[in-house]
Structure 1
Amino acid sequence: MIKILAAIILLAGLALSVPHPAQARQDDPKLGELFDLLHDTEHPRAIADLTILIWKIWSRSGSDTTDYLFNAGIKAMSHGDLPKALKRFSAITEIDPKFAEGWNKRATVLYMMGDYPGSVADVQKTVSLEPRHFGAWSGLGMIYLKMEYYELALKAFRKALTTNPHLPGARQQIIELKSIIAGNKT
Structure 2
Amino acid sequence: MTTLDELFVRLREATTPTEIENLQNGIWQIWLTTGDLLLDKHLEAGMRAMAAGNYTQAIADFTALIELQPAYAEGWNKRATAYYLRGEYRASLDDVRETLRREPRHFGALAGWANMLRAIADDRGTLRVLLRLEALCPHWPGLQSQLREVRDQLGE
**TM-score calculated relative to the size of structure 1:** 0.77
Q: Does the 8 Å contact 2:12/2:135 carry over to 1?
A: no
Distance, in Å, in 1 between the alignment partners of 2:27 and 2:115 is 21
Q: How does 1:12-161 map to 2 (within 5 A)?
A: 17=1, 30-161=3-134
3-state secondary structure, aligned to 2:7: helix
3-state secondary structure, aligned to 1:168: coil
Paired AA for residue 133 in structure 1 = H
Count of residues paired in the alignment: 156
**TM-score calculated relative to the size of structure 2:** 0.91
Deviations 1:89-122, CA, capped at 9 Å, x for gaps: 1111111100001101111111111211111111
Note the residue ranges of structure 1 that are not aligned, 5 or more in a row: 1-16, 19-29
- Asked which structure has the greater RCO (Cα within 8 Å, sep 6+), the reply is 2
Q: How has the CA–CA distance of structure 1 residues 93 and 169 changed in structure 2, closer, same or farther, with 3 Å as cutoff? A: farther
Deviations 1:12-46, CA, capped at 9 Å, x for gaps: xxxxx36xxxxxxxxxxx11111111222324433
Higher Rg: 1
Q: CA RMSD in A?
A: 1.7
Q: Does the 8 Å contact 1:154/1:174 carry over to 2?
A: yes
Distance, in Å, in 2 between the alignment partners of 1:181 and 1:43 is 29
Identity score, percent: 35
Paired AA for residue 148 in structure 1 = A
